[in-house]
C-alpha cells in the first residue's frame, strides 16, 4: 500500500479536489490510503473561532462559522456531491454549531483541539464525495479511531504501538481491490476518546505514522510545489529543487523552516526505511523529491 497525503492547497477548492481525484485514480493499483489536510486557511479560521469563544464573543464565532459553512457548501455544490455526503458535512457543521452555542466562556485546551480538527473532517468528506462522483470506490475513515495520542492538547504525542495495531486491524482490510480509503491528517484521540491534534502542519506527521503502521511502500506528500527545495521558493527565487535527499537533510531543512514538510515526518519512517516522496498536485507529471536513507544527488 501507499499513503498519499494532500495538503491544504491540494484540497483548497473544487478544481484542486478534482485534480486530487485524478491523481488518486492513477494510483489504484498501489492500494492508496489518502490522508487530507483541511482546506487552505480553514484551520486558521477555526483557531480564530475558538479564540472568539474563549473571549466570550459568540457573535464573532458565529460569523466565522457561517463563512466556513458557506465555503464548504459552495465546494460541495460545485462538486455535485451525493446527498449522503452532503448530509455528513451538514451533520459535522451542526456539531460545531452546538459547540458555538453552548460553549462556556474562557479558554479550554480540549475544546480548542476539538474545534481545530473540524477542517480535516469536512475536507475528508468533500474528497470522499468527489471520489464517488469521479467513479472511484471509496471509504471514509475516522483517523481518531486509530491515531492514539497522549493528552498533550495542541501538540499531542502519538503512541505508535497502539496506532500500528489499530491501523492493521481497521484499515488494512479496507485497502486494495481498486478501493480508496480517505482519512484525516492532524487529528487523533486519547485512550478515553478525547479528540487531540498533532500540532500545526501535523498532517504530514499523520501520513508518516500511518505509513509506518501499515508498512507502506512509500509515503507521498502531495503539495503545491515541485518538491523539497534548497530554500523557501517564496523567499529565495533561485532556490534549487532537490531530486533526492536523505532523511537527515530533509529533517534539517524542515527544522530550519521548510514548511513543505513537518519536522517530525521522517521519524516513524527511518527505521523501516520507508521513503517519502514530495509531489506537486498541480504538476503530477513531475517526479518530485525522493527522501530516503541515501542521497543520490
Phi–psi pair at 208, nearest 5 degrees: -70, -40
Please count the residues of this chain forming the interface with Mg ion, following the rule CB under 5 A.
2
Angle at 153 between CA 151 and CA 157, to 5 degrees: 60
Residue from the set 30, 37, 124, 190 that interacts with ligand ASP by CB under 6 A: 37
Distance CA 16, CA 284 (A): 12
Which cell goes with 133? 462522483
Distance CA 185, CA 142 (A): 10
Determine the length of the chain. 297
Among residues 258, 264, 250, 268, which one has the least CA distance to residue 198?
264
Q: Give me the residue label for grid cell 523529491.
A: 289
Judged by CB under 6 A, does residue 45 bind ligand ASP?
Answer: no
Neighbour-count burial of 170, counting CB atoms closer than 10 A to its CB (0-12 exposed, 13-18 middle, 19+ buried): middle
Among residues 147, 290, 267, which one has the least CA distance to residue 206?
147
The pairing of beta strand 244-246 with beta strand 289-292? parallel
Among residues 21, 117, 12, 25, which one has the least CA distance to residue 74?
12
Distance CA 125, CA 210 (A): 19
* Span 257-286, contacts to ligand ADP by CB under 6 A: 258-260
Which cell goes with 248? 537527515
Q: Using CB distances below 5 to 8 A depending on partner kind, what does residue 119 bind out of ligand ASP, ligand ADP, Mg ion, none? A: ligand ASP
- For the CB of residue 14, give the shortest distance to ligand ADP in the complex, in Å: 17
- For the CB of residue 94, give the shortest distance to Mg ion in the complex, in Å: 28
Interacting span for ligand ADP (CB under 6 A) from 8-16, 59-67, 84-92, 170-178: 8-16
C-beta closer to Mg ion: residue 244 or 259: 259
Neighbours of 80 (CB within 10 A): 12
Judged by CB under 6 A, does residue 30 bind ligand ADP?
Answer: no
Interacting span for Mg ion (CB under 5 A) from 178-186, 195-203, 250-258, 268-276: 195-203
Q: What is the contact mask toward ligand ADP in residues 109 to 128, using x (rule: CB under 6 A)?
A: --------------------
Among residues 109, 209, 121, 122, which one has the least CA distance to residue 153?
109
Residue from the set 118, 186, 222, 290 that interacts with ligand ASP by CB under 6 A: 186
- For the CB of residue 128, give the shortest distance to ligand ASP in the complex, in Å: 17
Judged by CB under 5 A, does residue 201 bind Mg ion?
Answer: yes
Judged by CB under 6 A, does residue 7 bind ligand ADP?
Answer: yes
Q: Give me the residue label for grid cell 480535516.
A: 120
In 3-state terms the chain splits into helix, strand, coil percentages (rounded to 5) of 45, 15, 35
Residue from the set 7, 188, 211, 292 that interacts with Mg ion by CB under 5 A: 7
- For the CB of residue 103, give the shortest distance to ligand ADP in the complex, in Å: 28
Judged by CB under 6 A, does residue 8 bind ligand ASP?
Answer: yes
* Span 182-241, contacts to ligand ADP by CB under 6 A: 201, 223-225, 228-229, 231-234
Judged by CB under 6 A, does residue 253 bind ligand ADP?
Answer: yes
What does the binding site for ligand ADP look like in residue numbers (CB under 6 A)?
Answer: 7-10, 37, 201, 223-225, 228-229, 231-234, 253, 258-260
What does the binding site for Mg ion look like in residue numbers (CB under 5 A)?
Answer: 7, 201
What does the binding site for ligand ASP look like in residue numbers (CB under 6 A)?
Answer: 7-8, 37-38, 43, 119, 185-186, 200-203
Amino acid at each position: 500500500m501507499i499513503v498519499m497525503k494532500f495538503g491544504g492547497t491540494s484540497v483548497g477548492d473544487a478544481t484542486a479536489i478534482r485534480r486530487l481525484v485524478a491523481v488518486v485514480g492513477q494510483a489504484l493499483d498501489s492500494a492508496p490510503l489518502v490522508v487530507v489536510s483541511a482546506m487552505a486557511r480553514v484551520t486558521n479560521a477555526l483557531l480564530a473561532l475558538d479564540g472568539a469563544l474563549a473571549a466570550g464573543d459568540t457573535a464573532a464565532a458565529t460569523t466565522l462559522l457561517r463563512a466556513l459553512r458557506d465555503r464548504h457548501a459552495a465546494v460541495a455544490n460545485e462538486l455535485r456531491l451525493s446527498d449522503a455526503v452532503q448530509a455528513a458535512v451538514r451533520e459535522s457543521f451542526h456539531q460545531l454549531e452546538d459547540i458555538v452555542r453552548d460553549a462556556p466562556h474562557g479558554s479550554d485546551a480540549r475544546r480548542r483541539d476539538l474545534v481545530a480538527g473540524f477542517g480535516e473532517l469536512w475536507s475528508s468528506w468533500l474528497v470522499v464525495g468527489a471520489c464517488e462522483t469521479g467513479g472511484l470506490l471509496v471509504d471514509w475513515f475516522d483517523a481518531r479511531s486509530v491515531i492514539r495520542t497522549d493528552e498533550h492538547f495542541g501538540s499531542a504525542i502519538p503512541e505508535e504501538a497502539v496506532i500500528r495495531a489499530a491501523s492493521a486491524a481497521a484499515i488494512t482490510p479496507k485497502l486494495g481491490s481498486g478501493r480508496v480509503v480517505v482519512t484525516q491528517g492532524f487529528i487523533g484521540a486519547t485512550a478515553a476518546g478525547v479528540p487531540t491534534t498533532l500540532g500545526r502542519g501535523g498532517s504530514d506527521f499523520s501520513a508518516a505514522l500511518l505509513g509506518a503502521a501499515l508498512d507502506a511502500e512509500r509515503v507521498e506528500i502531495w503539495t503545491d510545489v515541485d518538491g523539497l527545495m534548497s530554500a523557501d521558493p517564496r523567499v529565495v527565487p533561485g532556490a534549487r529543487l532537490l531530486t533526492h535527499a536523505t532523511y537527515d537533510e530533509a529533517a534539517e531543512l524542515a527544522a530550519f523552516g521548510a514548511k513543505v514538510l513537518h519536522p517530525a515526518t521522517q521519524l516513524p519512517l527511518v527505521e523501516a526505511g520507508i521513503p517519502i516522496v514530495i509531489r506537486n498536485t498541480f504538476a503530477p507529471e513531475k517526479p518530485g523529491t525522493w527522501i530516503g536513507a541515501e542521497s543520490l544527488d
